[in-house]
A = this chain, B = another copy of it.
Amino acid sequence: MKKLVNDPQHVVTDALVGVEAAYLGRLAVDHEHRVVYRADAPVAGKVALVSGGGSGHEPLHGGFVGPGMLDAACAGEVFTSPTPDQVLAADQHVDAGAGILHIVKNYTGDVMNFDMAVELAEGGSPIATVVTNDDVAVEDSLYTAGRRGIGVTVVVEKIAGAAAEGRRDLSAVADVARRVNDNGRSMGVALTSCTVPAVGRPTFDLAEDELEIGVGIHGEPGRSRGRLGTASEVAEQLVVPITDDLDFTGAPVIAMLSGLGGTPLIELYLMYGEIARILGRRNVTVARTLVGNYITSLEMAGCSLTLVRADDELLDLWDAPVDTPGLRWGA
């Protein structure tokens, strides 16, 4: 394992020291509870957006804290959901009395820990929860844990953040967040594994010509393994399951192609060219695009594609100013 770390057991704690130093005056860090929050929180009259999850997906979630997006993010251990105490502390730091929205990726651990936090909360604003579950790699069923929440979470946080910044009330912010999630689908592929620092060994092995298709963001194995083909073939493997699952024609689409952490931008650009070509052939009209590292899995090589079927209102919220380390425009 080659990593820029001190003690592999303390990676999250140490990284938060860096986040605080890098964004002084913009972000505050509660080191005891590992919470990153807006330096100006609580923001009067505003619904507070709180998210969080395992670490290792940076900039998600701490890098999306700031005006126009999240109020606070709880950093769990690497790939391990945060604990209820952390969520409670986050809520307390940012609660302005106008309600709190928890944005939770659909993983058993994340859902249970955020649920327990809500059960344990005493006093404070009402809390609503939106669970994201956009990963088409996972077969959905009433009897299983359901689809995982991946890339759409970034779009939910951006758009719900804009709605909250516009002083919509809790149920309206939760509604728009759910609408984004319901209209979002994602799919990822990995070319290499990642190594959890405290483990020191890659989570899985892939042969030189193998691809993990439908990989999770925690190094969970994917839907299947395949032979690594050309970028154009990989693009098909991303686009087809997404567009088979939901009709993206006839609406403006927000497209996000996120690297998984170890893939250089030149490959992401190249992949996006292939994806755009296939989407064009399928009559999908992309109105907004993000290409870069937004939801990652440590140093894994690969990428995930997220499409959101939007409308004028969602595009306006998307275009609204945002000022976070990971996403910034208009501010």
Contacts and interface: CB of A to CB of B under 8 A. Distances in A.
A242 interface: no
B14 A265 contact: no
A131 interface: no
A56 B58 CA distance: 22
A232 B330 CA distance: 36
Interface in A27-68: 55-56, 58-59, 63
Contacts of A262: 262, 264, 299, 301
B331 A55 contact: no
A272 B18 contact: yes
A198 interface: no
Nearest to A229: B6
Copy count, this protein chain: 2
A325 to B, nearest CB: 8
A281 interface: no
A55 B15 contact: no
A240 interface: no
Nearest to A271: B4
A249 B24 CA distance: 19
Interface in A272-288: 272-274, 276-277, 286
A120 interface: no
A14 B301 contact: no
A231 interface: yes
Given A14-B273, A234-B4, A22 B291 contact: yes
Nearest to A78: B266
A14 B231 contact: yes
Nearest to A191: B2
B191 A18 contact: no
A330 B323 CA distance: 9
A143 interface: no
Contacts of A19: 269, 273
A257 to B, nearest CB: 8
A270 B18 contact: yes
Contact of A261 (B12, B264, B289): B264
- In the A-B complex, list the 8 residue pairs whose CB atoms are closest, starting with the nearest: A18-B273, A21-B276, A17-B273, A58-B265, A18-B269, A18-B272, A261-B264, A15-B269
24 contacts: A2-B301, A3-B267, A4-B271, A4-B303, A6-B231, A6-B270, A7-B230, A14-B274, A18-B270, A21-B272, A21-B289, A22-B269, A22-B272, A22-B276, A56-B266, A58-B264, A58-B269, A261-B264, A261-B265, A262-B262, A262-B299, A263-B299, A299-B301, A329-B329
